[in-house]
Amino acid sequence: MERPTRRRTMTSIVTILALSCLGPVLASAAPAAASSPTGFYLSIGASESVGVQPTALHPRGQVTNEGYTNDVTNMLSSQGVNVNLVELGCPGESTASTISGLDHCYHASDSQLSDAVAFLRAHTNDPGLVTVDLGFNDLRPCIAQEFADPSCVGTQLALVRDNLETILSKLVAAAGPKVTIVGLNHDNPFLADAVNHTHDLNFAADSTSAIDALNTTLSDVYASYAIPVANVASAYANALATPTRLAHVGWVPLDVQRACTWTWMCRSGAYGPNIHPNDTGYAAMARAVVLALPPRFFAAFSSPSS
């Protein structure tokens, strides 16, 4: 059965400002518990931030409503925290194109960052969550053709650091006092290459070093802004070699097993290999986001609506 999908429209600054006027209407249409305000969940990032997965219609991947942002929204709802999900993410987005708008979703005068800043300014008094899921696509050109280029990795990580600092400085300045920002680090789907097609253990190890370096860079930048990090790498057991049985393969390290079973990387045929998470992988990412939420996030939703 084909995976359900949703039509997604990139939000312009004009649309964001219009939505801010509809805030009370949206909140009254789908209220949280009587004592809790309805807030927002603003998702910033690349393909994973909009739930890209292979589908029958688009085997190489398309936006779905079964990504981690949808799971986070549902998990929060189960805890009595209701948020309206706003996804600004663009498949293929890098930290550079997030700023410039030079991508297939935005234009130079209307970037993902500028729309995010406009949204936050329009919702300055509302409680909300912002997730930032960037960096992987900056590094991806360095991990290609079954080869990880250390020189490329170093150059790109310097750019990630500078660009992410620019992005976070603008988001923090625009966010209201009831907004919590959470960053995500990254799993390593290329670990699946240890058992998939090439059986290339060297490439799997080299890609792990590159992803670990990326996650260290991300952690450093987020920490400098006191922003908590959703530890997706830990959820996926990055670099954890506990022997685990993988169907049709045998015993493999736990991180390889999860790369195979939580993404589409070990799928053959039209749906694979594909680096994106499946439903299980996205649910794990969502749990990492919710676990990273500090008490102040829930406190922002504890006061009665005015």
Q: What's the confidence (pLDDT) of residue 12?
A: 38
pLDDT digits (tens, 9 = 90+) for 145-186: 677 889 999 999 999 999 999 999 999 999 999 999 999 999
Mean pLDDT over 208-216 rounds to: 95
Residue that the structure tokens 């518990």 belong to: 33
Neighbouring residues of 55: CB distance < 8 A, sequence distance ≥ 6: 2, 3, 5, 61, 62, 64
Whether residue 91 has a cis bond before it, omega within 30° of 0: no
Could you tell me if 39 and 126 are in contact, meaning their C-beta atoms sit under 8 angstroms apart? Answer: yes
The per-residue pLDDT for range 91-132, each reduced to its tens digit, is 999 999 999 999 999 987 899 999 999 999 999 999 999 999
Q: What is the pLDDT of residue 145?
A: 66
The number of residues making up the chain comes to 306
Report the distance separating Cα 111 and Cα 95, nearest Å: 11
pLDDT of 221: 98
For residue 170, what are the contacts with CB-CB under 8 A and spacing of at least 6? 113, 117
Residue with tokens 């991300």: 218
Q: What domains can be seen in the chain, in order of their start residue?
A: 13-300 (3.40.50.1110)
**Whole-model pTM over 0.75:** yes
In sequence order, the 6+-apart residues with CB closer than 8 A to the CB of 25 are none
